[in-house]
Structure 1
Amino acid sequence: VVNIRKALMIGNEGQQQWFDATFDLYVDLGPAQAGAHMSRFSDALEEVIEQFASNSWPQIEFLAEQMAKTVVERQKVARAEVYIRTTLPLQKWTPVSGRRTQEVYGLLAQAVATKEHSRRMVGVEVEGMVACPCAQDMVYSFARARLQEEGFPEDVIAKMLEVTPLATHNQRGRATLLIGSEQSVEARDLVNLAESAMSSENYALLKRPDELYIVNKAHSNPRFVEDVAREILRAVVEKYSDLPDDSFVWVRQRNEETIHKYDVEAEGWGTLGELRSEILDNATVERHTTKEAWLRLTELVK
C-alpha cells in the first residue's frame, strides 16, 4: 500500500512538531500465502498507521521500525518494509545580511522487520550549489592566455588569477544521505553534513550581499559530482566515530546540469567499518555492503 498521507507528531516532550507524511508499506508473503484480500489488507494497514501516527515519536525512524514490526505481527507475513517521507523545516540565517529564513529539507525513514529482527534508517534530502571544475579550468587557461596577449607580466597574471573568482557553469545539487544504526542519529546533523559537502549552500531568501557571498564561495570551491559524494562519506566517517562498524551509510548526489541536456549522478555506500578502512586507513575495500544486503534480516544477529 503506497502513498498514504497522515499527519505525524515527531519530537521529544515540549519540542514536538506536526509533519505531513507519506507512507509506503510493503510485505513479503510466506510460502503458504498465495496472496492477500486487498480490502481487508488495506484496512489493517490503515489501522496500524492511524494507531502510530496519532502518538508522538522522538524520531521518525523509530516510528517506521515499530510500524514494520506491527505489520509483520498483524498480517502474519514473513517480512515488512516501511518508508516514510516528509519535510524538515529548519530555521537558518543568511550568510551576510543575517536575515532569518526557513529552509525546508526532505526527511526520510526506512525500516524492515521480520518476526525475529528489525533494522531502521534515517535520512535527509538536501539541495545546494555545485560549481564545475572542468569549465573553470578552461576559463583559467583562456584568461591566462588573454592576459599574456595583453602584455601583463607573469607575476601580475598569477596574482590576478589567484584573487579573482573565475567563471564556470553551475549545477543545483541534490544530495540524499541515509544512515542505519542502532544508535540515534539527528536528522539536523545529516543536513549539515550533506549541505557542507557541496560548493555552497543555497537559500530561499537572499539579499544582494548574500548572493555575492554564495557565488564567490561556490566558485572558490568547485567540485565534480563524485567529489561531493566522497566528501559526504568522509564527513560521516569523521562525525560519527562513536557509531559501531556495522552501521550503514548510503549517499546519492545528483547534479542538475545547466549547459548539458542531461544530469549527472554519483553514489557511495557501505558499512562504517568498510568506509573507515577505506577513508581513514587508505585501505582497498574490494566490495562494499549494499543497502539491500544490510537490510537482509536473515543475516542479522541482535
Structure 2
Amino acid sequence: MEQLDLTTREGRFKHFGSVDPIEGKKPTEKECMADLQSSKKDFLFEVDSVGINNLSYPVVIGDYQSVGTFELATSLRRDEKGINMSRILESLETENDRGVSLDFTTLGNVLKTLRTRMHQEEAEITGTGKWYFPKPSPGTRLSGMAHADVEYALKIDGDGVQQKKLGMTAMVTTLCPCSKEISEYSAHNQRGYVKVLLDIDPEAELPEDHKEQLYQLLEINASSQLYPILKRTDEKMVTERAYENPRFVEDLIRLIAYDLVELDWVKGFELECRNEESIHQHDAFSRMSYQK
C-alpha cells in the first residue's frame, strides 16, 4: 500500500479516496470537440419551449435593487437536436447593469439577443421579483419600506410580440361582513393576499406608473391597507377603516375585477384573493378569469 504524506493536501485527498487524473484521449480544444446540440436530422417533433428556469439573478425594480427569478426559453426546430444553454445566460448578461431592469423594454432586448444567438423564431422570458417602495402611514405620514411581488412575462415571434403579461401579488386587510353583522361588538379580520396576472395589449402604451396603479387598485378595494409603520393614531385609522369596509373574498375579487376591466391597456386577467382566516385552520379563497 502506498505510504501517503498526510501533512500535504494531496496526501490527505488520496487518503480519502481521490485518484490521479487519467491521461485522456478526447480533444481538449473547442474546435475539435463534438457538438451534439447542433446535430441536424429528423428528430420527430418541433419543441415549443426549451431553456432554463429557477434562475436567481439580481434585478432592478423601480428605484431599488432586488433578487429576481427567471425562466428563459426558445423554440426548437424539428431538424435540430438541442439548443446551446450557455447562450441564454450570455443573452441575459447583455442587459446586466448592477442587475437587470425588470421591465418590458429590457426583457424585450434580452429576447431579441437570445433569438438571434439561438437562430430561432420564438423566444420567451418570465422574471419575478420583490418590488420595494416607500409607503407613509395614513395619519402621521411616517414612511417605511413596503413591498409587493411582481412578474413580467414576454414572448416574441420574429420581431413581433406574441404575448405580454404583468403580474402582482399584494397583501391587504379584510374584515368579515358576517362576523360584523352577528356580533354584539368587534369582528374578526385577517391578512389577505391578492394575486393578479394581466394579459397586456401588445399595441397599447403601458403607463409609466403601471406598478403603482395596479398596487393601488388592489389595495383600495380591500377593507384596509397594510403599512410598514403605524403609530397609535394610525392604527386607530386603519382598524376603523376596516370596520367601515367589510369584505368577503367574493366581494373583493368582484370590486377589483371591475377596476381592471376599465384599464384600456388590459385585454384580460386571472385574479385570486386568499384570506388567512383568523378563526379557522383553513384559508378562504375566490378566483376568476376574464377576457374583454
TM-score, normalising length from structure 2?
A: 0.71
Residue of structure 1 equivalent to 2:189: 170
Q: Which amino acid in 1 is paired with 2:245?
A: N
The structure richer in strand per residue is 2
Structure 1 residue 133 corresponds to structure 2 residue 177: yes
Residue of structure 2 equivalent to 1:32: 79
Aligned residue for 2:94, secondary structure, equals: helix
Give unpaired runs (5+ residues) of structure 2.
1-51
The structure richer in helix per residue is 1
Structure 1 residue 80 corresponds to structure 2 residue 123: yes
Judge conservation of contact 1:229–1:251 (CA < 8 Å) in 2.
Answer: yes
Shift in Å, 1:116: 5.3
How many residues get paired? 235
Q: Which amino acid in 2 is paired with 1:2?
A: N
Q: Which amino acid in 2 is paired with 1:32?
A: D
Residue of structure 2 equivalent to 1:184: 206
**Do the aligned partners of residues 203 and 34 (structure 1) sit closer, same or farther apart at CA in structure 2, a change above 3 Å counting?**
same
Aligned residue for 1:2, secondary structure, equals: strand
Residue of structure 1 equivalent to 2:282: 262
Shift in Å, 1:77: 4.3
Shift in Å, 1:45: 0.8
Shift in Å, 1:191: 0.6
Judge conservation of contact 2:131–2:147 (CA < 8 Å) in 1.
Answer: yes
Aligned residue for 2:67, secondary structure, equals: strand
Post-superposition CA distance 1:53-95 (Å, at most 9, x none)? 3389886122233333443333344643311111222222111
Alpha-carbon distance between aligned partners in 2 of 1:227 and 1:28, rounded to the nearest angstrom: 41
Judge conservation of contact 2:136–2:229 (CA < 8 Å) in 1.
Answer: no
Structure 1 residue 93 corresponds to structure 2 residue 140: no
Structure 1 residue 8 corresponds to structure 2 residue 32: no
Judge conservation of contact 2:275–2:284 (CA < 8 Å) in 1.
Answer: yes
Alpha-carbon distance between aligned partners in 1 of 2:182 and 2:57, rounded to the nearest angstrom: 51
Residue of structure 1 equivalent to 2:240: 216
The percent identity for this pair of structures is 25
Supply the RMSD in Å over aligned alpha carbons. 2.5
State which structure, 1 or 2, has the greater radius of gyration over its C-alpha atoms: 2
Residue of structure 1 equivalent to 2:91: 48
Post-superposition CA distance 1:73-124 (Å, at most 9, x none)? 3334464331111122222211122212221121211112223532222232
**Do the aligned partners of residues 215 and 76 (structure 1) sit closer, same or farther apart at CA in structure 2, a change above 3 Å counting?**
same
- Structure showing greater relative contact order (alpha-carbon pairs closer than 8 Å, 6 or more residues apart): 1
Aligned residue for 1:54, secondary structure, equals: coil
Judge conservation of contact 2:223–2:247 (CA < 8 Å) in 1.
Answer: yes
Judge conservation of contact 1:69–1:114 (CA < 8 Å) in 2.
Answer: no
Judge conservation of contact 1:126–1:174 (CA < 8 Å) in 2.
Answer: yes
Judge conservation of contact 2:272–2:288 (CA < 8 Å) in 1.
Answer: yes
**Do the aligned partners of residues 83 and 117 (structure 1) sit closer, same or farther apart at CA in structure 2, a change above 3 Å counting?**
same
Alpha-carbon distance between aligned partners in 2 of 1:172 and 1:80, rounded to the nearest angstrom: 38
TM-score, normalising length from structure 1?
A: 0.69
Judge conservation of contact 1:131–1:219 (CA < 8 Å) in 2.
Answer: yes
Give unpaired runs (5+ residues) of structure 1.
144-165, 275-302
